A and B are shown apart, each in its own frame.
Chain A
């Protein structure tokens, strides 16, 4: 079901197979099929990165204070939305974290939506991609917590509210902390995968209108899941950097 190669993946496999094998060799791994090492998800992810790398300089060159164009207004909307969300979640100066949350939101949104285009596939449909994002978030919120509060005080938070119970609290807190990237991964992966499977299932049943309705639902779920991933990252950063006043 997943072995079908997209046309872009085929181009990558025909031209750049050696590059992929050497990169994998750097980390002592081999591809499943060394003749055709590029997989759909990595090619699609690189495509989304390429789109963003072209879009952002275009945006930057057109920035204007007096007469903002539609692209600038769109990004200002996204930025303001994210800053408002950080305030709602309890982060005091959200602008510090806006680069990470903005990147996360726009990247996940674009990755989710690229699957709607006919010959492309959402890279978030493969569990590796949401796992990578979740691991980034995991390290980010710990790093922000340590930066905000210092390493010692941050580690002391694992003890919980009552220090005498630390033997009980530390394992529970650690398990909770490791459950977070796991749940982020599975939530994003399962939503995107299930959305595509449902559309495929209905495409097998009724060819005309019903699959389009489910595809519309999938687009709505893409927005929602990108928002929820970013929101949960904000909540984790907020918990890690909170000061007791």
Chain B
């Protein structure tokens, strides 16, 4: 029951965003670049956050389970985090290239 409520609240909140479409009638030339940039960067950062969270969680559990291998696990963790971070940064570069 609460999941359905959450879903309905979400839908109502999205419907509240309809004024965004009002601009097109007035001038005829909307600038979608900032909107696209914001949405793209938000998705990239969110997914990057999820990926890095999973990496840190796996590394923490492994270090807790096997404290002797901490150095090797830390190495793999830092490497993994930087590579995931760079994926979000590619999106940032696209934003600066397009805008």
Q: Is A187 an interface residue (CB 8 A)?
A: yes
Q: How far is the CB of B70 from chain A (nearest CB, A)?
A: 14
Stretch at the interface among B29-37, B55-63, B82-90: B82-90
- Chain A residues near B92 (CB, 8 Å)? 190, 194
Interface size class of A (residues with CB under 8 A): 10 to 19
B48 to chain A, nearest CB (A): 12
Contact, CB under 8 Å: B78 / A186: no
Contact of A186 with B89 in the complex, beta carbons under 8 Å: yes
Chain B count of residues within 8 A CB distance of the other chain: 11
Known pairs A187-B86, A224-B82; A88 contacts B93 (CB<8 A): no
The answer to the question of A183 belonging to the interface, with a C-beta cut-off of 8 Å to chain B, is yes
Known A194-B89, A194-B92; contact A187-B75, beta-carbon cutoff 8 A: no
Contact indicator B86/A183 (Cβ below 8 Å): yes
A191, CB-defined interface residue at 8 Å: yes
Contact in complex: B89, A187 (CB < 8 Å): yes
* Min CB–CB distance A238 → chain B (angstroms): 13
Asked if A190 and B79 make an inter-chain contact with CB atoms under 8 angstroms apart, the answer reads no
Option from A186, A193, A225, A228 in Cβ contact (under 8 Å) with B90:
A186
Contacts from B to A (Cβ < 8 Å): 75, 78-79, 82, 85-86, 89-90, 92-93, 96
Give the B-binding residues of A (Cβ under 8 A).
88, 183, 186-187, 189-191, 193-194, 224-225, 228, 231
Top 3 nearest A-B pairs (CB, nearest first) are A190-B89, A187-B86, A228-B82
5 A-B Cβ contacts within 8 A? A186-B93, A190-B89, A190-B90, A224-B82, A228-B79
